[in-house]
């Protein structure tokens, strides 16, 4: 926390994705200023009581992949990008496997960005699709 009581925000680095993202199973493989890709390992630990992967896993992955990429885009300005709106569509239910995650910038403005994220299975079928609108904010000093 800063002296103003606001959380300290620092530019995101791919190797520092945070414990929550790691526990969810998202592994970042590549980050550029307009894309972020990786994979997601899902299994019984991600299941709902009905035996399929919980939608929150996909929502978390959409938010994470887009935020990591968007923050990389503004890091040179001493900023990070924080999610404002996350819309995730759940297209297929699955129980386990390795999923591909691909986030791509649609718009990168001075104050806001819009990213799309696709999560696909080994056969290339879309499991989930999301859009994340982000705000570029100054990272807290020090």
Q: Which CATH number fits domain 19-138: 3.10.129.10, 3.50.50.60, 1.10.10.10, 3.10.28.10?
A: 3.10.129.10
User: How crowded is residue 124: how many other Cβ atoms within 10 Å of its Cβ?
Assistant: 7
pLDDT in tens, 18-62: 788 888 889 999 999 999 999 999 999 999 999 999 999 999 999
Determine the pLDDT at residue 140: 78
pTM, to two decimals: 0.86
Q: What is the mean pLDDT of the chain?
A: 89
Of 71, 43, 40, 38, the residue nearest 58 (C-alpha)? 40
DSSP-based helix, strand, coil % in the chain, nearest 5: 25, 45, 35
Share of the chain above pLDDT 90, in %: 80
Determine the pLDDT at residue 16: 60
**Whether the predicted pLDDT of 2 surpasses 60:** no
Q: Which of 13-27, 59-73, 83-97, 120-134 has the lowest mean pLDDT?
A: 13-27
Determine the pLDDT at residue 4: 44
The stretch 78-82 carries a mean pLDDT of: 96
Of 2, 39, 7, 9, the residue nearest 139 (C-alpha)? 9
Tell me the two tokens of residue 62.
């959409």
Burial of 73 (0-12, 13-18, 19+ CB in 10 A): buried
Determine the pLDDT at residue 3: 44
Which residues lie across from 28 on neighbouring strands? 38
Three-state secondary structure readout of 100-129: EEEEEEEEECCCEEEEEEEEECCCCCEEEE
């Amino acid at each position: 926390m800063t002296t103003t009581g606001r959380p300290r925000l620092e530019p995101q680095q791919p190797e520092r994705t945070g414990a929550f993202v790691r526990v969810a199973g998202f592994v970042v493989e590549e980050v550029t200023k307009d894309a972020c890709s990786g994979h997601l390992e899902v299994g019984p630990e991600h299941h709902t009581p009905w035996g399929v992967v919980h939608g929150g896993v996909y929502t978390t992955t959409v938010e994470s992949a887009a935020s990591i990429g968007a923050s990389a885009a503004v890091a040179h300005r001493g900023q990070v990008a924080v999610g404002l709106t996350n819309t995730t569509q759940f297209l297929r239910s699955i129980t386990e496997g390795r999923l591909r995650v691909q986030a791509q910038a649609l718009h990168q403005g001075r104050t806001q960005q819009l990213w799309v994220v696709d999560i696909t299975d080994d056969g290339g079928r879309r499991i989930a699709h999301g859009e994340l609108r982000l705000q570029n904010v100054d990272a807290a000093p020090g």
